[in-house]
Amino acid sequence: MKWVLAVLLLGICATTLAQDATARQPEPNTRVPQGVVRYAPSGFPDRIVASPAQDAATGFSVAWRTDARVSAPSLEIVVAGDSPDMGEPRSIKATSTPLKTENGEAHHHRADITGLQPDTLYAWRVQGDRTWSAWHHTRTAAVVTAPLTLLYFGDTQNKNVSLTTRVVREAMRAAPEARLALFAGDLVSGGDGEDDNEWGEWFEANEVLPTSLVVAPAPGNHEYFEEFEDTPQERRVLGAHWPVTFALPGNGVAQAKRTTYWFDYQDVRVVVIDGTSALDLGTAKAQAAWLDDVLAGNPHRWSIVLTHQPFFSPREGRDNVLLRQHLLPVIRKRKVDLVLQGHDHVYGRLKNEAPTPVFVVSVTGAKQYRLSDEARKTMRPVAEDTQLFQVLRFDGPRLRYEARTATGRLYDAFELVDSGTAGKHLVEHAEGRIEERTCRRAETLKGRADRCWE
Ligand SMILES: [Fe+2]
């Protein structure tokens, strides 16, 4: 009997040891091991990203990076053709800005391309040190009545190569015709001494997206850092990467010039506001007045406000009162159709009495929080523990919105239909949606019970 017990005990010990050896460890924020240089700038152009001009039918801008040997390089552009000989390209000189990071000194370049023909496929490339990028293809926006598909991503923020990559790929598979990608802020986490690695990961995770579509990002709080942290002088300062990483239209409000902007893409006016600046830097009133002006002049059928911090927060313990006080009245008055948001690392669509504005919060990246009880009452559908992307298809008087999970399954769908003088109404599409998802984990691998995954 004794030896049977001994064998049993040994067996239990061996099993426990095996489980310990294979216990899952929290994943680091980037795939770059300490002391390894993965994203140093070189003479080869990288971090190439196109963004829309104020009028996306006639122009776009491109940002890219090289090492510090390259100053004022060129961008070449030509109408794309089937022959490898696409003719004599037009050459545009870039402006260059230095940036020192943990990966060495880089030069970030920006070229603005104007005077393009609408609905035209252009081939373009950017210059490095005695070398060039591939020829990339970007189509300018068409006439306002043409159909448009765009993608909307919530926070990507953490572990971008590891876990954002698959969502971006799934989104591009689901909507290969998409022309424009909106990112609702916190593209990276930052503030940890490896900001540049994180931006390197963001571009790696997005693969061909930033050179195939035009990218419009909103700044999140993680694009800022705290200066003089834990002192009376503590204040938010915009991170050095933001202004040089994207070539944005630069038509924002004076008080938040580098982080607010707007543009027209066919029949949609997109306005990007800066929630962090509104909440922490006292610009809510100024942004509201500017937003009112930009929306008052909108000749198009549709309008989107893209912003990071939600007007109605689905996460416990968060409430952005200043946004509702100053900016919400403008959004309601100007009948904005969609308010696309991030920040709370869950999914939630606010139940509205009126069909518009539709307020959505979504998340793309690995970090997952928990819903508040209030959100469970006031929003539908909601989700925890789910990576998502959204596809928006505009076609004349109809806008179809779909939220899909990281595996491409339908999570939320509705249509907004414009009946002209009768206004817009919302049609729910519940068919084909998967069941609502909730977090089934008691705590994260780091032992945090207030989060679902990190
Ligand atoms: Fe955030």
Express each pLDDT in 8-39 by its tens digit.
555 554 444 445 557 899 999 999 999 999 99
Ligand 1 centroid vs 324 CA: distance in angstroms? 17
* Residue 270 pLDDT exceeds 60: yes
Express each pLDDT in 54-104 by its tens digit.
999 999 999 999 999 999 999 999 999 999 999 999 999 999 999 999 999
Ligand 1 centroid vs 363 CA: distance in angstroms? 10
Ligand 1 centroid vs 181 CA: distance in angstroms? 19
User: What backbone phi and psi angles, to 5 degrees, belong to 199?
Assistant: -65, -35
Count of CB atoms situated within 10 Å of the CB of 284: 23
Q: What is the pLDDT of residue 21?
A: 55
Ligand 1 centroid vs 364 CA: distance in angstroms? 12
Instruction: Say which residue, 185 or 191, is predicted with more confidence.
Output: 185
Ligand 1 centroid vs 342 CA: distance in angstroms? 7
Ligand 1 centroid vs 206 CA: distance in angstroms? 20
Ligand 1 centroid vs 315 CA: distance in angstroms? 12
Phi-psi region of 87 (alpha: psi -120 to 50; beta: other; left: phi over 0): left
Express each pLDDT in 277-318 by its tens digit.
999 999 999 999 999 999 999 999 999 999 999 999 999 888
Confidence label for 243 from pLDDT (cuts 50, 70 and 90): very high
The CATH fold of domain 46-139? Immunoglobulin-like (2.60.40)
Helix (H, G, I), strand (E, B) or coil at 346: coil
Ligand 1 centroid vs 310 CA: distance in angstroms? 10
Count of CB atoms situated within 10 Å of the CB of 419: 9
Closest-CA residue to 348 (of 369, 322, 376, 320)? 376
Ligand 1 centroid vs 29 CA: distance in angstroms? 16
Q: What average pLDDT does this structure show over 142-152?
A: 95
Ligand 1 centroid vs 341 CA: distance in angstroms? 10
Ligand 1 centroid vs 273 CA: distance in angstroms? 14
Ligand 1 centroid vs 423 CA: distance in angstroms? 34
Q: What average pLDDT does this structure show over 123-129?
A: 98
DSSP state of 164: I
Ligand 1 centroid vs 372 CA: distance in angstroms? 17
Ligand 1 centroid vs 100 CA: distance in angstroms? 25
The two beta strands, 60-67 and 46-52, are antiparallel
* Residue 233 pLDDT exceeds 60: yes
**CA–CA dist 170, 399 (Å, integer):** 21
Kindly tell me the sign of the dihedral angle through the C-alpha atoms of 439, 444, 447, 449: negative
Instruction: Say which residue, 227 or 47, is predicted with more confidence.
Output: 47
Q: Where in the chain are the domains?
A: 46-139, 148-453
Q: What is 38-87 written as a DSSP string?
A: -----SS-EEEEEEE-SBTTT-EEEEEEEETT--S-EEEEEE--SSS---
Ligand 1 centroid vs 343 CA: distance in angstroms? 4
Ligand 1 centroid vs 296 CA: distance in angstroms? 29
Confidence label for 2 from pLDDT (cuts 50, 70 and 90): low
Express each pLDDT in 344-358 by its tens digit.
999 999 998 899 999
* Residue 228 pLDDT exceeds 90: no
* Residue 1 pLDDT exceeds 60: no
Ligand 1 centroid vs 308 CA: distance in angstroms? 7
Q: What is the pLDDT of residue 227?
A: 85
Q: What average pLDDT does this structure show over 29-54?
A: 97
Q: What is the pLDDT of residue 229?
A: 78
Count of CB atoms situated within 10 Å of the CB of 72: 12
Count of CB atoms situated within 10 Å of the CB of 131: 12
Question: In CATH, which superfamily holds the domain spanning 148-453?
Answer: Metallo-dependent phosphatases (3.60.21.10)
Ligand 1 centroid vs 95 CA: distance in angstroms? 30
Express each pLDDT in 415-427 by its tens digit.
999 999 899 999 9
Q: What is the pLDDT of residue 3?
A: 54
Q: What residues pack around ion ligand 1 (CB closer than 5 A)? A: 186, 220-221, 343
Ligand 1 centroid vs 223 CA: distance in angstroms? 9
Quote the pTM value: 0.94
Ligand 1 centroid vs 309 CA: distance in angstroms? 7
